Structure 1
Amino acid sequence: MTEVYTITLKNCAFFARHGVYPEEEFLGQRFFIDAEFDVLAGDTLDNDDLDGTVDYGIAFKVIEDVVTNSRRLLIEALALAIARELCQRFAQIRRAKITVRKPSAPVPGILDYVQVSVEHFN
């Protein structure tokens, strides 16, 4: 039998400069990230083994590095980059679903935020 468990990091907040318009690069803004990943358990849960799991402190740092150390025009591309980097860093991740929220999206109207989700399978 193969067990899979899910880890979720909810509402991680970062200041970055993603977006199409020059003022988005110049001014920057906050982005909020949700990361949900399905992890192949193996013997990790039976053995209560930290080394075999996904360290969510390291996962947070991976997300932070992608969000703050690069610039993407599309938040969809940002979400995919995060998902791919998490799967590359942690071989036991089978699925990474990344949601990016952009509260200060430059749209001609009133809204809480624009949000996209991308799933990547390893």
Structure 2
Amino acid sequence: MEAVGSGIPTGDKLVLIRGLKFHGFHEVKPEEKTLGQKFLIDVDAWMDLRTAGKSEDLSDTISYTAIYRIVKEVVEGQSQNLLESVAQMIVSKIFTDHSQVSAVRVKVGKPHVAVPGSLDYLGVEFIRYRSIDVPN
């Protein structure tokens, strides 16, 4: 797996989750910690999928439900002050639980924000590489 000019990994990619919604209690403001709000999550993972493509065996890839459980545990879990912390926790858990993943992209969006004007959401997006960001 290599990154090209944009810094995005190349190779086989699992488009794991798009637009997953959970209610969480993240952010700095006291009312956000008390009332909570919706968070939107996208996750992609890069790994070699040649074996899975030939075997049709789930053990040769990653189950979408396994990633769903990780995201649910983090977003509905302990309150964090920053979206960056939520994203990093998801990344770390995916790398810990799935050693075959060489890179992961996690986007955490917050659709309900107190800013003037109309927007879909604001948030953070992390792209992390096992060889650089995760010790072996």
The TM-score normalised by the length of structure 1 is 0.89
**Residues matched between the structures, number:** 119
Partner SS, residue 119 of structure 1: strand
1:52 is aligned with what amino acid? D
User: Displacement of 1:49 after TM fit?
Assistant: 1.6
> Structure 2, unaligned stretches of length 5 or more?
1-10, 131-136
Give distance in 2, aligned partners of 1:54 and 1:34: 15
| Alignment partner, residue 45 of structure 1 | 53
- Any conservation in 2 of the 1:17–1:24 contact (CA below 8 Å)? yes
Pair 1:7-2:14 in alignment: yes
1:7 is aligned with what amino acid? L
Give distance in 2, aligned partners of 1:70 and 1:7: 27
Partner SS, residue 98 of structure 1: strand
Q: 1:81 aligns with which of 89, 93, 116?
A: 89
Structure with the higher strand share, 1 or 2: 1
Identity of aligned residues (%): 25
Q: How do 1:1-122 and structure 2 match up within 5 A?
A: 4-8=11-15, 9-41=17-49, 43-107=51-115, 109-112=116-119, 113-122=121-130
- Any conservation in 2 of the 1:84–1:120 contact (CA below 8 Å)? no
The TM-score normalised by the length of structure 2 is 0.80
Give distance in 2, aligned partners of 1:73 and 1:16: 11
Q: Superposition RMSD on alpha carbons, in Å?
A: 1.6
